Amino acid sequence: MGDGSNGQSSGYHSSAEDGSTLQQQLSAVEVENQLLRNEVASLNQEMQSVIRRMQSSNEGIRIASCS
């Protein structure tokens, strides 16, 4: 019977630990999600900058070829 009560106690702690572990995993995923969103925003800004430089270069080439 001592084993049964220990098993129940362990099971209870295991459930609490599982809940805690799931909460930690959720927090980690939320942090990773935010980091990825920040990275996407940064990459979008970088792409916009590249596109503007390309458009500027194309405009310069167009003006030079018309001269």
Residue 12: predicted pLDDT: 56
Considering all CA atoms of the chain, what is the largest pairwise distance in Å, rounded to the nearest integer?
97
Which pLDDT does position 67 carry in this prediction? 74
Global pTM value: 0.63
Q: In this predicted model, what pLDDT tens digit does every residue of 4-63 receive, in sequence order?
A: 555 444 555 678 788 899 999 999 999 999 999 999 999 999 999 999 999 999 999 988
Output the pLDDT for position 11: 52
- Phi, psi at residue 60, to the nearest 5°? -60, -40
Burial 23-60 (b: 16+ CB within 10 A, else e): eeeeeeeeeeeeeeeeeeeeeeeeeeeeeeeeeeeeee
Give the position of tokens 């959720």.
Answer: 26
- What gap in Å lies between CA 50 and CA 37, rounded to an integer? 20
